[in-house]
A and B are shown apart, each in its own frame.
Chain A
Amino acid sequence: MAITINTKHGQIDISNSTVSSIVGGAASDIYGIVGMASKNQLRDGMNTILNREDFSRGVVIHQEDDKLAVDVYIIVGYGIKISEVAKNLKEKVKYNLETMLGTPAGTVNVYVQGIKVLDDIK
């Protein structure tokens, strides 16, 4: 599935991986997220932190009543307020989609797949 934007000159198709990259880019701006996780834990193993080129595996795009719905799978650093990180991510994802694609995001669901303990400074 891709997003289609109809303009008077024709239509623009935006592939899912493009959207995933935009969402992944949003996630990397958010403080407290140490990585994207795979949505498919069975195949990729638990809490594998994805490389930048694999971000699309941590993002699921689907259509919900004519609106874009996004699921993002993240890994958060230990000792950080998870609820706030998730909220910040939602805001950023919505903002990015609206400014870059001009499509309002309907829902953004954040799945925290794991916590990474960052070695503390001794």
Chain B
Amino acid sequence: MTIDTITKKEFSDMIRVAAHRLEKNAKFVNSLNVFPVPDGDTGTNMSLTVQSGFKSVNESEADTVGRLGKALAKGLLMGARGNSGVITSQLFRGFSKSIEAKDDLTAADLAKAFDDGVKTAYKAVMKPVEGTILTVAKYGANSAMDATKSSEDVAVIMQAAVKGAKVGLAKTPSLLPVLKEVGVVDSGGQGLVFIYEGFLEALTGEVSSESEEYTPDEGEMDEMVNATHHQSVQGQFTNEDIKNGYCTEMMVELGQNPTSDETFDNDTMRDYLDTIGDSLIVVSDDEVVKVHVHTNYPRKVWEEGRKFGSLVKVKIDNMRIQHETIVDGDETAPAATAVATKSSEPVDYAVIAVSSGEGLSDLYKSLGVTNIISGGQTMNPSTNDIVDAINSSNAKRAIVLPNNGNIVMAAKQAAGLVDIPVAIVPTKTISQGMTAMLSFNPEADIDENQENMEDSLDTVKSGQVTQAIRNTSIDGLEITKGHFMGIVDGKIEVDDKDIVKTTEEMLDKMIDEDSEVITILVGKDGNDQDAQTISDYLSDKYEDLETEIHQGDQPVYPYLVAVE
């Protein structure tokens, strides 16, 4: 089959597949990184750069390939990271300049764009170092240009570019001594080959080279779904703009059950759903298929899923009513997801807290937190999740409460990756986060807030009650599997088989003459009756203390307490 033009759709597919291919192989690229500084981050940097390009393409409303190329170049420029990322952004700056007036691309346009990209990239450096991405791009472009003499099929041109790039990559060790020394090909060059292979894969549907087929994992499926949804919701300001009113998602576990009567095929399902909606994503692996579609017929979507297995999760939002969830299936999000309220008006402050459990989220919101990233003890959100939350908050400045010692670093990294001022208040527990919120002043500037919030952390002691999962001995304390542990500010202080007793003993250790208020947050595995028992115990024993009980719904910890 000949493909003679690249339209807007193919172009954005190319970028998407390339971004995923690179991301999937980022670790491998990292492992090759020896030039200019051998710090093993080339793959990560390039991948983040290309992700940023894809995001920009994905959110673009461009109606021609040329304008889409412009969006790509802008995204790459904004997101460029590391030497490799800067070169990549410059390559595609030249590429997009070359195609900016085109509606669609022919084979000749594509080859010329590669060539122009290389020319632009070679100009922006004092002394072009051969044996790097530049070399690989040059070989790829030359090979693509040669191919235009004999073919007008864009897939053939892309194939030639991949082939040429691989030849260039194989030459890198002989051009750059440091590579030969280590016995590797150039990492950035390898990254570019992955990008080109992704382009080819998008055009032909075949995976080039010996790598296994790409199947997105759960988290990636979610990201794709969110990105597509975001893209189509953006820019629709009035209800009249919305053609397909229901944002419909489902997850189907493929396989035998009373209703599954057909063998699943990704393309067949996609083709059918394409006829009843837009913003369509169908991603699948051997076990599950995830679907996101905007349609006026949600029932048809679910009926389609039902044919191939059992529906494990369905969700429908009426987009004409601001995000009102009507049905929401099980709540186990496979990855940390940011619940963001995208307002069209930029807000002044975003306060972002990491927390899990609906009750805690509500409590945080009542204290003035604007965005919750769900996560915490058992699933730490990544730097990227935090960056996304900051970016989607649409705020001029942001304060982040990690609420967990393991997330503080990720939050600090995220702060460096966004364009607005961000303050990280290093809260290690849920209780500290809440105390910090009491010192938050929306009128104050960000530094002042950070200082005040950080200072307030000394005034609270955090206690956590949870069940021991194995026998151990820590800090001279014997811990028995199945018993409950009382943890005060990260240190295990109490071990007892009775949960109420554990909590009471722990509180006794926390309370001193300065204590005034005690807050008990009841988790998923805690209950109100026990919480009341604990509260009564406290009021009997300590006269002047105030005790508050709140529903936190947090997992893992039946009770969280704060002593202030």
**Taking beta carbons and an 8 Å cutoff, which residues of A are in contact with B?**
26-35, 77, 79-81, 84-85, 88, 91-92, 95, 118-121
Bound state CA distance, A119 and B94, in angstroms? 11
Inter-subunit contact A80/B90 (CB<8 Å): yes
Chain A residue nearest to B73 (CB atoms) is: A79
Inter-subunit contact B80/A31 (CB<8 Å): no
Contact with A along B57-79 (1 / 0, CB 8 A): 00000000000000000000110
Bound state CA distance, A103 and B98, in angstroms? 46
Q: Which residues of chain A are within 8 angstroms of B83 by Cβ–Cβ distance? A: 30-31, 88
Inter-subunit contact B77/A118 (CB<8 Å): no
Chain A residue nearest to B132 (CB atoms) is: A31
Inter-subunit contact A84/B80 (CB<8 Å): yes
Bound state CA distance, A92 and B116, in angstroms? 28
| Any A CB within 8 A of the CB of B444 | no
Nearest-Cβ distance from residue B232 to partner chain A, whole angstroms? 29
Q: Which residues of chain B are within 8 angstroms of A119 by Cβ–Cβ distance? A: 123
B86 partner, pick from A32, A91, A92, beta carbons under 8 A: A32
- Given that A77-B123, A84-B82, A118-B123 are known contacts, is A31 also in contact with B37, CB under 8 Å in the complex? no
Inter-subunit contact B81/A121 (CB<8 Å): no
Bound state CA distance, A95 and B35, in angstroms? 11
Nearest-Cβ distance from residue A37 to partner chain B, whole angstroms? 12
Nearest-Cβ distance from residue A67 to partner chain B, whole angstroms? 19
| Any A CB within 8 A of the CB of B36 | yes
Inter-subunit contact A118/B39 (CB<8 Å): no
Inter-subunit contact A33/B36 (CB<8 Å): no
| Any A CB within 8 A of the CB of B412 | no
Chain A residue nearest to B38 (CB atoms) is: A95
Most buried by A among B86, B93, B127: B86
| Any A CB within 8 A of the CB of B119 | yes
| Any A CB within 8 A of the CB of B549 | no
Nearest-Cβ distance from residue B124 to partner chain A, whole angstroms? 4
Q: Which residues of chain A are within 8 angstroms of B97 by Cβ–Cβ distance? A: 120-121
Q: List 7 A-B contacts (CB under 8 A).
A: A31-B86, A31-B90, A32-B86, A32-B124, A77-B90, A79-B93, A85-B86
Chain A residue nearest to B93 (CB atoms) is: A79
- Given that A29-B129, A32-B124 are known contacts, is A95 also in contact with B37, CB under 8 Å in the complex? yes
B124 partner, pick from A27, A29, A80, beta carbons under 8 A: A80
Main secondary structure of the interface of B (DSSP, over half): helix
A79 partner, pick from B37, B39, B90, B127, beta carbons under 8 A: B90
Nearest-Cβ distance from residue B108 to partner chain A, whole angstroms? 15
Inter-subunit contact B36/A81 (CB<8 Å): no
A30 partner, pick from B36, B94, B119, beta carbons under 8 A: B36
Inter-subunit contact B125/A33 (CB<8 Å): yes
Inter-subunit contact A91/B37 (CB<8 Å): yes
Bound state CA distance, A23 and B82, in angstroms? 18
Q: Which residues of chain A are within 8 angstroms of B129 by Cβ–Cβ distance? A: 29
Q: Which residues of chain A are within 8 angstroms of B487 by Cβ–Cβ distance? A: none
| Any A CB within 8 A of the CB of B47 | no
**B contacts with A, residue count (CB < 8 A):** 28
Inter-subunit contact B81/A91 (CB<8 Å): no
Bound state CA distance, A79 and B82, in angstroms? 16
| Any A CB within 8 A of the CB of B376 | no
| Any A CB within 8 A of the CB of B494 | no
Bound state CA distance, A21 and B93, in angstroms? 31
The 8 closest A-B pairs by CB, nearest first: A77-B124, A81-B80, A118-B123, A28-B126, A95-B37, A121-B116, A28-B127, A29-B36
Bound state CA distance, A45 and B522, in angstroms? 70
- Taking A34-B125, A81-B86, A118-B124 as known contacts, 16 extra A-B pairs with beta carbons closer than 8 A to each other, sorted by chain A number, are A30-B83, A31-B83, A31-B86, A32-B90, A33-B126, A77-B124, A77-B125, A79-B93, A80-B89, A80-B90, A81-B77, A81-B78, A84-B80, A84-B85, A88-B86, A121-B120
Nearest-Cβ distance from residue B74 to partner chain A, whole angstroms? 10
Bound state CA distance, A121 and B98, in angstroms? 8
Q: Which residues of chain B are within 8 angstroms of A31 by Cβ–Cβ distance? A: 83, 86-87, 90, 124-125
Nearest-Cβ distance from residue B140 to partner chain A, whole angstroms? 17
Nearest-Cβ distance from residue B35 to partner chain A, whole angstroms? 8
Nearest-Cβ distance from residue B251 to partner chain A, whole angstroms? 38
Nearest-Cβ distance from residue A56 to partner chain B, whole angstroms? 16
Inter-subunit contact B36/A92 (CB<8 Å): yes
Chain B residue nearest to A83 (CB atoms) is: B80
Q: Which residues of chain A are within 8 angstroms of B93 by Cβ–Cβ distance? A: 79
Bound state CA distance, A33 and B39, in angstroms? 21
Most buried by B among A31, A33, A84: A31
- Given that A29-B129, A80-B90, A121-B98 are known contacts, is A34 also in contact with B81, CB under 8 Å in the complex? no
Inter-subunit contact A88/B120 (CB<8 Å): no
Bound state CA distance, A91 and B119, in angstroms? 27
Nearest-Cβ distance from residue B401 to partner chain A, whole angstroms? 27
Nearest-Cβ distance from residue A38 to partner chain B, whole angstroms? 15
Q: Which residues of chain A are within 8 angstroms of B85 by Cβ–Cβ distance? A: 84
Bound state CA distance, A77 and B82, in angstroms? 16
Q: Which residues of chain A are within 8 angstroms of B90 by Cβ–Cβ distance? A: 31-32, 77, 79-80
Bound state CA distance, A92 and B178, in angstroms? 15
Bound state CA distance, A86 and B353, in angstroms? 32
Inter-subunit contact A120/B86 (CB<8 Å): no
Bound state CA distance, A115 and B36, in angstroms? 23
Bound state CA distance, A88 and B85, in angstroms? 10
Q: Which residues of chain B are within 8 angstroms of A80 by Cβ–Cβ distance? A: 77, 80, 86, 89-90, 124
Q: Which residues of chain B are within 8 angstroms of A95 by Cβ–Cβ distance? A: 36-37
- Given that A81-B78, A120-B120, A121-B97 are known contacts, is A27 also in contact with B86, CB under 8 Å in the complex? no
Inter-subunit contact B124/A92 (CB<8 Å): no
Q: Which residues of chain A are within 8 angstroms of B126 by Cβ–Cβ distance? A: 27-28, 33-35
Inter-subunit contact A92/B37 (CB<8 Å): yes
Chain B residue nearest to A24 (CB atoms) is: B126
Q: Which residues of chain A are within 8 angstroms of B82 by Cβ–Cβ distance? A: 84, 88
Most buried by A among B77, B80, B124: B124
- Given that A81-B77, A92-B37 are known contacts, is A118 also in contact with B125, CB under 8 Å in the complex? no
